[in-house]
Amino acid sequence: RKNLEYISTGVRSLDDLLEGGVEVGSITELIGEFGAGKTQICHQLAVMVQLPKEKGGLNARALYIDTEGTFRPERIIQIARAKQLDPEKALENIIYARAYNSDHQMLLVDEAKKYIESQNIRLIIVDSLINHFRAEYPGRENLASRQQKLNRHISQLHRLASLYNLAVVVTNQVMSSPDIFFGNPMKPAGGNIMAHGCTYRIWLRKAKEGKRIARIIDSPKHAEKEVAFAITEDGVTD
């Protein structure tokens, strides 16, 4: 069995939490309420993967699947500058795709097979994984078909992760109002399909004075602990 590879988050505390960073071959899920920092971490990882290995990257490119229209090139430029990368090159090294609905989202993942290797893609981001699925399959009567389709989507991503030796990072919302399907408020969306489908789940939350807290949930590999991080002009930091 070969050694696992990681993409550093660029944040010491988060790398500690993840015991190295985002793991290649796996799906890492970022969970959190609005403004928790999920999209910011995605932006940062899309830059970090480009760094040479000795700086925590994989000397590779990212595929960024944006389902909410929240990708910001200006933010990539800021983060790239902070990491001493040429901002224009950093942007070019992120292959951006906007997914307009869940079918389109799955098609984009499927089509990625054609260019992952030639484009040296080692990170796939899906931000957010679940919003189209939730919007298109509302109500109890659609729950089974939604979960089935979500399961297929997660399987697609797992296959790419292991076949092409790349990391997958997805985001997921926390349901803040009671959801009739899953009972409790403040649970990650997607139920068991998400819980079992994603290899590692990181829960992010806002804390005092603009700080953020991250915690790994349900991991057999990681110690149960919490770490703090911040979001600044330079990106996500300790």
Residues near ligand GTP (CB under 6 A): 32, 34-40, 70, 173, 231-233
Minimal distance in Å, beta carbon 216 to ligand GTP? 17
Among 60, 63, 59, which residue's Cα sits nearest to residue 71?
Answer: 63
Binding window for Mg ion (CB under 5 A); candidates: 16-24, 35-43, 180-188, 212-220: 35-43
Residue 198, sorted as left (phi over 0), alpha (psi -120 to 50) or beta, turns out to be: beta
User: What is each CA distance from 236 to 48, 83, 124, 202, in whole angstroms?
Assistant: 11, 11, 19, 15
Among 8, 13, 28, 39, binds Mg ion (CB under 5 A): 39
Q: Is 147 in the site for Mg ion (CB under 5 A)?
A: no
**C-alpha angle 166/170/173, rounded to 5°?**
170
Of these partners, Mg ion, ligand GTP, none, which one is at the site of residue 36 (CB under 5 to 8 Å by kind)?
Answer: ligand GTP
Chain position carrying tokens 């990368």 = 85
User: Of 32 and 87, which has the nearer Cβ to ligand GTP?
Assistant: 32
User: Of 101 and 232, which has the nearer Cβ to ligand GTP?
Assistant: 232
Tokens of 7: 């993409």
Q: Which amino acid is at 217?
A: I
H/E stretch holding 49: none
User: Of 116 and 172, which has the nearer Cβ to ligand GTP?
Assistant: 172
Minimal distance in Å, beta carbon 188 to Mg ion? 14
Torsion of CA 34, 104, 99, 46, to 10 degrees: 90
Minimal distance in Å, beta carbon 57 to ligand GTP? 21
Tokens of 177: 């109002």
Minimal distance in Å, beta carbon 3 to ligand GTP? 31
User: Of 43 and 51, which has the nearer Cβ to Mg ion?
Assistant: 43
How far apart CA 5 and CA 217 sit, in angstroms, is 21
Minimal distance in Å, beta carbon 122 to Mg ion? 22
**Residues within the interface to Mg ion (CB under 5 A):** 38-39, 70
